[in-house]
């Protein structure tokens, strides 16, 4: 990475970048539908993700008032349960909070532990304010501060979400590094002048040929090594 010594604050996306959201949701769906085969579980997961993405896009376009991630997850859980014929309120209630129990990727906890000893590290997530601290605790993620887009009633890549991180960093945007496994997320940060680093994950949105991010890493350990020794 060019000018790595100039980075003062590191900002991480959470969902998909530091935690394995699909695996976590799949496990919770399987718990709610113990008799379902793999095909049904995968169909339910796709339905959940498609509904969430659709509703977040409706909010971004002004077609729906802001609703936080737990409201949308609750709606998705009700749809999945109804399609599977599950009516037990306790089962549906647990499924609705699946976003609080997502496993970290194998390298996330150790990498954050190393990096937080070197620089201020922030989390910046579309997860709601109530869900985010519980998710962080479940996954064992270490932060100096974790920020939710709910504070500005928006979802990334809306610019006001990245401004949350810039305000917390309290330094020039080009001294703040946004790290994500989603190219769309990095483009949003880049539009505000933030530096960007892509980390590959099995469920990532990889850069396009036209993207010019400051760094691209196959492993989180490599990113941390560049930041701590660059």
Question: Which range marks the domain in which residue 30 is found?
Answer: 21-100
Please tell me whether residues 142 and 206 are part of one structural domain: yes
Please tell me whether residues 35 and 50 are part of one structural domain: yes
- For residue 213, give the CATH number of its domain: 3.40.50.1000
Compute the half-sphere exposure of residue 142: CA atoms within 13 Å on the CB side of its CA.
14
- Domain edge (last residue) among 100, 135, 157: 100
Left, alpha or beta for 3 (phi > 0: left; psi -120 to 50: alpha)? left
- Which residue from 104, 88, 90 is spatially nearest to 19, judged by alpha carbons? 104
Q: pLDDT, tens digit, for every residue of 74-107?
A: 999 999 999 999 989 999 999 999 999 999 999 9
Please tell me whether residues 32 and 70 are part of one structural domain: yes
Instruction: Please tell me whether the peptide bond between 157 and the residue prior to it is cis, using omega within 30 degrees of 0.
Output: yes
Compute the half-sphere exposure of residue 210: CA atoms within 13 Å on the CB side of its CA.
2
Residues 156, 184: Cα–Cα separation, whole Å:
9
Please tell me whether residues 149 and 78 are part of one structural domain: no
Please tell me whether residues 134 and 212 are part of one structural domain: yes
Per-residue confidence band for 3, with pLDDT thresholds at 50, 70 and 90:
low
> Is a pLDDT exceeding 70 seen at residue 69?
yes
Please tell me whether residues 186 and 121 are part of one structural domain: yes
Please tell me whether residues 195 and 141 are part of one structural domain: yes
> Is a pLDDT exceeding 50 seen at residue 211?
yes
- Domain edge (last residue) among 100, 130, 145: 100
Q: pLDDT, tens digit, for every residue of 117-148?
A: 999 999 999 999 999 999 999 999 999 999 99
Arithmetic mean of pLDDT over the chain: 94
Please tell me whether residues 83 and 110 are part of one structural domain: no
- Domain edge (last residue) among 100, 135, 163: 100
Task: Identify the burial level of 184 via C-beta atoms within 10 angstroms of its C-beta, where 0-12 means exposed, 13-18 middle and 19 or more buried.
Answer: exposed
| Alpha helices (H) in the chain, listed in sequence order | 21-32, 38-60, 69-84, 89-96, 108-115, 131-139, 159-169, 183-190, 220-229
Please tell me whether residues 88 and 106 are part of one structural domain: no
Number of domains observed in the structure of the chain: 2
b/e for 2-26, b at 16 or more Cβ within 10 A?
Answer: eebeebebbbbbbbbbbbbbbebbb
Please tell me whether residues 75 and 152 are part of one structural domain: no
Q: By the 8 A CB rule, do 202 and 93 touch? A: no
What residue has token string 């998705």? 76
Counted residue by residue, the chain has a size of 230
Please tell me whether residues 83 and 70 are part of one structural domain: yes
Please tell me whether residues 123 and 15 are part of one structural domain: yes
User: Which of 43-47, 160-164, 179-183, 201-205 shows the lowest mean pLDDT across its residues?
Assistant: 201-205
Residues 64, 169: Cα–Cα separation, whole Å:
31
> Is a pLDDT exceeding 90 seen at residue 41?
yes
Q: Supply the pLDDT for residue 196.
A: 96
């Amino acid at each position: 990475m060019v000018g790595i010594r100039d980075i003062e604050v590191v900002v991480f996306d959470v969902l998909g970048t530091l935690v394995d959201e699909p695996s976590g949701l799949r496990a919770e769906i399987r718990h709610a539908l113990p008799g379902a085969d793999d095909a049904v579980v995968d169909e339910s997961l796709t339905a959940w993700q498609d509904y969430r993405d659709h509703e977040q896009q409706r909010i971004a376009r002004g077609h729906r008032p802001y609703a936080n991630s737990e409201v949308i997850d609750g709606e998705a859980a009700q749809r999945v349960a109804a399609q599977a014929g599950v009516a037990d309120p306790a089962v549906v209630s647990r499924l609705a909070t699946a976003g609080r129990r997502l496993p970290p990727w194998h390298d996330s906890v150790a990498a954050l532990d190393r990096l937080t000893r070197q620089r201020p590290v922030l989390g910046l997530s579309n997860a709601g304010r109530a869900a985010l601290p519980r998710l962080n605790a479940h996954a064992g993620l270490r932060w100096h501060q974790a920020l939710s887009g709910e504070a500005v009633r928006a979802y990334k890549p809306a610019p006001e979400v990245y401004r949350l991180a810039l305000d917390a960093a309290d330094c020039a945007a080009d001294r703040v590094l946004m790290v994500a496994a989603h190219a769309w997320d990095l483009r949003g940060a880049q539009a505000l002048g933030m530096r960007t680093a892509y980390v590959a994950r099995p469920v990532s949105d990889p850069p396009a040929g036209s993207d010019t991010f400051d760094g691209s890493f196959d492993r989180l350990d490599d990113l941390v090594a560049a930041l701590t020794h660059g």
